A and B are shown apart, each in its own frame.
Chain A
Amino acid sequence: MSVRPLSEAEREALVAAADALCGGGRLSAPSATPGYEEWLERALAARADAFEEVVAAAVALDGLSLEGRREALRRMNADERPRFHALSSVVAGAWLLVPEIAAALGYPGQVAAPAAFDEAATQLETGILDPVIARGPIYKEA
């Protein structure tokens, strides 16, 4: 789905960048998240306009330790905002797309959640609007 196939080295560089940006918290790091690489392909396709920039930015971190990558990314965020924005959006955004990660973060996606017929009325019947109504008209005559 990407604009061109990734080389193995490029793929590893992108996953390593993702680990530096998303890993170390309460959830599994991207490299340890099953399915991450498939969603990475999809994220790259969504930002096909930035494909080469994103790949190059990740490859530039090659050979650095996790902390070294994080430090390099910290500098990129400070000095090269558009480049960092593209890279971080794609590799971190891909991780957020993994269904298990999205579920762990409480995002159900764009699910259909039609309102019950009485939901709006029930909310307003709590009396929450009463102070506004009690205050009376506020509009300015003109």
Chain B
Amino acid sequence: MGERLQTDVLVIGSGPSGAVVTHTLASAGVDVVCLEQGDWINPSDFGTNEPEWELLIQQQWAHDPNVRKAEADYPVEVSDSDMWPVMLNAVGGTSLFYGAEWVRMLPSDFRLRSCEGIADDWPISYAELKPYHDEIDAFLGVSGVAGDPAYPEGLDYPLPPHPIGKVGMKAAEGMNALGWHWWPGANAIAVDRHKTLERCLRHGVCEWGCPAGAKASFDLIYLPQALAAGAKLITGARVSRIESGTDGLASGAHWIDREGGENFVAAKAVVVCANGIGTPRLLLLSGGPAHPDGLANSSGLVGRNLMLHPNCTVTGYYEDDLESWKGPAGETIHSMEFYESRPEHSFVRGGKMNVLPTPGPLAAIEAHRDQPFDQLWGPAFADVAARHRSGILWATNTEDLPDEANRVTLDPALTDGDGVPAPKVDYRIGDNTRAILDFHVARMTEIHEASGATETIPVGLWVDQPGHLLGTARMGEDPGRSVVDSYGRAHDVPNLFVADGSLFVTGGAVNPTATITALALRVAKHIVATGAEIPTSTGAAR
């Protein structure tokens, strides 16, 4: 046995939710340790600093851990999945690779059962979550324009918006011609220096690591403040198991260091923030006599109801020079026109559409890969590559409804570099989601035509995007139909909390990090407020 620590609260994972929880607890004077299996990545080390960044993101800086295969990564078995979940294992988690599109769920998202008779209601409402959103937004310095008519009154942003650019203006012209909703993008990218964030320099490479340190990845904001408040962060710490005592309560976690040594942190409470794949993996790895089917899994729902927000896109190319290499990316504009169910649709729910630029000449080549050979290669090559300046990417984040068959389990054979069983993902895109995808490909093509595109390239499904990993430890009031309560507390283990995307009851169709962090803040504040009442394990660790 290597290092043995003791703390009041152990946080597992330093992504957006782990960072918010760690900061909130530390700021309240709680003794907190955060374990992160990855390491710090300096913004100056991203592949996006190099001229060959478009090649580096194909493997060394790829979003898919099965492609990247970095030391901190664990493999994800996806042979029975229609999509390949992506993530980054590093301080700040996958936020180093997100677009920082900072969009809240809509009121209807929380009440699908009551309003439409589908899926389940959340145990909290839009209004209950709003103050937590507002606090997070103020901390991050989210930029945007108040008054989006797709939301109830009262949604404002602490910093002014980024320019929507020539890309956004052109896309907006098409939306106006069609009479459809759009609004300038809301992004957690600092439009000016803010706390520990630098000013956005519009490099355009946000989703592969911001070289400027302007994007609100949680290694750059929240975690620095958490450490200043006294939190202890241990990197290179892969948690292999949450321990529980004979009383069934969590007593701490075992972790493996970079040298393969085994260590233990004893804790009065444990908060799991390992994302919608890593959290159920860890809970399933942590079974014991009191928890024969995995920790907190008496409902059998740990790992089930995985939602991944299947994305489709249509890239359009225009005659005009749109400066499509320029960021942020980040959404320039978004649309909620087809977010809600409509009686004339063949499907329920819908999607959130948004616009991004198309930085890089190799990206233009990749977009044209399925074109006939002679239209891309040879004499045509330079002209196709030059189209990168005139591209607009419309993308739709679709709502995939919860399905218990879509799940995370432990693979019986595959392991990570430390011999810990890897997660296996079983995920099939349902007919309803397929219909939403097809519908939005047609609508996005229509928008491009209205904006004057000379060429459109549809992609019906982005197999390896996005990293929206949701629903695998869902919250609810009924212990038979949920894993945790509305404060993330496990029904089975009252000193164990979940505070990441696993909590989602339904997925909505917006980029989820804003909601994830608002939930995490709510969980953390509840722990602070009720700390003295949280039972602690008295049984000996197994």
Residues of A bordering B, CB below 8 Å: 20-27, 39, 42-43, 46-50, 70, 73-74, 77-78, 85, 88-90, 92-93, 96-97, 101-102, 104-115, 119-121, 123-124, 126, 128-129, 131-133, 135-142
A113 and B326 within 8 A (CB): yes
A43 and B55 within 8 A (CB): yes
Using known A-B contacts A93-B52, A93-B54, A112-B203, determine if residue A129 contacts B184 with beta carbons closer than 8 Å.
yes
Name the residue of chain A whose CB is nearest to the CB of B121. Answer: A142
Which A residues touch B50, using CB under 8 A? 46
B377 and A88 within 8 A (CB): yes
Give, as a whole number of angstroms, the nearest-CB distance from A19 to chain B: 9
Residues of B bordering A, CB below 8 Å: 47-56, 58-60, 106-108, 110-111, 114-115, 126, 145, 147, 149-152, 160-165, 168-169, 172-173, 175-176, 179, 181-184, 191, 199-205, 211-212, 321, 325-327, 336-337, 340, 359-362, 365, 369, 373-374, 377-383, 385-386, 388-389
B382 and A140 within 8 A (CB): no
In the docked arrangement, what's the CA distance between A98 and B360, Å?
A: 13
Name the residue of chain B whose CB is nearest to the CB of A126. Answer: B169
In the docked arrangement, what's the CA distance between A102 and B385, Å?
A: 9
B149 and A132 within 8 A (CB): yes
Give, as a whole number of angstroms, the nearest-CB distance from A50 to chain B: 7
In the docked arrangement, what's the CA distance between A111 and B359, Å?
A: 11
The 8 Å CB contact of A115, one of B149, B151, B163, B380, is B163
Extra pairs beyond A42-B51, A43-B52, A139-B150 (9, CB < 8 Å): A20-B377, A20-B378, A27-B382, A49-B60, A96-B385, A120-B164, A132-B182, A137-B149, A139-B106
Give, as a whole number of angstroms, the nearest-CB distance from B359 to chain A: 8
Which A residues touch B48, using CB under 8 A? 110
B176 and A25 within 8 A (CB): no
In the docked arrangement, what's the CA distance between A19 and B54, Å?
A: 20
B147 and A22 within 8 A (CB): no
Using known A-B contacts A138-B150, A139-B150, A142-B126, determine if residue A46 contacts B60 with beta carbons closer than 8 Å.
yes
B145 and A124 within 8 A (CB): yes
B386 and A105 within 8 A (CB): yes
What are 20 pairs between A and B in contact, CB < 8 Å? A22-B381, A25-B380, A25-B381, A27-B382, A42-B52, A43-B52, A106-B321, A107-B361, A112-B201, A115-B163, A120-B161, A120-B164, A128-B172, A131-B176, A132-B181, A135-B179, A138-B337, A140-B106, A142-B111, A142-B126
Using known A-B contacts A110-B203, A139-B150, determine if residue A89 contacts B377 with beta carbons closer than 8 Å.
no
B201 and A114 within 8 A (CB): yes
B51 and A97 within 8 A (CB): yes
Which A residues touch B359, using CB under 8 A? 110
In the docked arrangement, what's the CA distance between A21 and B326, Å?
A: 27
A70 and B377 within 8 A (CB): yes
A132 and B183 within 8 A (CB): yes
Give, as a whole number of angstroms, the nearest-CB distance from A109 to chain B: 6
Which B residues touch A70, using CB under 8 A? 377-378
In the docked arrangement, what's the CA distance between A25 and B204, Å?
A: 28
A112 and B149 within 8 A (CB): no
Using known A-B contacts A110-B48, A124-B184, determine if residue A46 contacts B162 with beta carbons closer than 8 Å.
no
Using known A-B contacts A46-B52, A110-B205, determine if residue A25 contacts B169 with beta carbons closer than 8 Å.
no
A107 and B59 within 8 A (CB): no
Name the residue of chain A whose CB is nearest to the CB of B203. Answer: A110
B202 and A114 within 8 A (CB): yes
A49 and B59 within 8 A (CB): yes
B380 and A119 within 8 A (CB): no
Which A residues touch B211, using CB under 8 A? 110
B179 and A131 within 8 A (CB): yes
The 8 Å CB contact of B388, one of A20, A78, A105, A129, is A105
A110 and B361 within 8 A (CB): no
Using known A-B contacts A24-B378, A114-B202, A131-B179, determine if residue A93 contacts B115 with beta carbons closer than 8 Å.
no
In the docked arrangement, what's the CA distance between A94 and B232, Å?
A: 44
Which A residues touch B126, using CB under 8 A? 142
B379 and A24 within 8 A (CB): yes
Name the residue of chain A whose CB is nearest to the CB of B374. Answer: A74
The 8 Å CB contact of A111, one of B152, B203, B340, is B203
Which B residues touch A73, using CB under 8 A? 373, 377
A140 and B58 within 8 A (CB): no
Give, as a whole number of angstroms, the nearest-CB distance from A58 to chain B: 14
The 8 Å CB contact of B163, one of A48, A49, A120, is A120
Name the residue of chain B whose CB is nearest to the CB of A101. Answer: B382
Give, as a whole number of angstroms, the nearest-CB distance from A37 to chain B: 14
